Chain A
Amino acid sequence: MSRLAVWWAVLAASVVVLATKVAGHLVPRALLERPRVVRTAALVTAALLAALVAVQTATTDGALALDARLAALAVAAVALLLRAPFVLVVLLAAATAALLRWLGLP
Chain B
Amino acid sequence: MPARSPADRTDPAVRSAVRTALSVSVATGLYGVSFGALSVAAGLDVPQTMALSLLMFSGGSQFAAVGVVGAGGGIGAVVATAGLLGARNGLYGVQVAPLLGASGWRRVLAAHLTIDESTAVATAQPTPAATRAGFWWTGAGVFVLWNAFSLLGALLGDALGDPRRYGLDAAAGAAFLALLWPRLSGDDRRATRTVRVVAVAAAALALALTPVAPAGVPVLAAAALAVVVGVLDGGGGAGARAGGRPGGDEDDAAPVVTP
Contacts of A22 in B (CB 8 A): 93, 108, 111
Within 8 Å of chain A (Cβ to Cβ): is B219? yes
A31 to chain B: closest residue by CB: B94
Q: Taking CB as reference atom, which chain A residue is nearest B110?
A: A25
> For residue B195, which residues in chain A have a CB less than 8 angstroms away from its CB?
42-43, 46
Which chain A residues lie closer than 8 Å to B90 at the CB level?
Answer: 20-21, 23-24, 32
Please tell me which one of the listed residues A29, A69, A92 contacts residue B94 in the complex, with CB atoms under 8 A apart.
Answer: A29
B interface, over-half SS: helix
Question: Given contacts A21-B93, A63-B211, A93-B167, could you give 15 more A-B pairs where the C-beta distance is less than 8 Å?
Answer: A1-B69, A1-B72, A13-B83, A17-B56, A18-B55, A23-B93, A35-B235, A41-B87, A50-B202, A51-B223, A56-B169, A72-B173, A73-B174, A80-B181, A86-B27
| Interface positions of B (Cβ within 8 A of A) | 27, 30-31, 33-34, 43-45, 48, 51-52, 55-58, 60-61, 63-65, 67, 69, 71-72, 74-75, 78-79, 81-98, 107-108, 110-112, 114, 164-181, 183-184, 191, 194-195, 198-207, 210-211, 215, 218-219, 221-223, 225-227, 229-231, 233, 235, 247, 249, 251-253, 258-259
Would you mind naming 17 contact pairs between A and B with Cβ atoms under 8 Å apart? Answer: A9-B69, A17-B83, A17-B86, A21-B111, A25-B93, A41-B253, A42-B183, A42-B191, A46-B184, A48-B84, A48-B202, A49-B183, A52-B176, A53-B173, A55-B207, A94-B166, A94-B174
Interface residues of A (CB under 8 A from B): 1, 3, 5-18, 20-27, 29, 32-33, 35-59, 61-64, 68-69, 72-73, 75-77, 80, 85-87, 89-99, 101
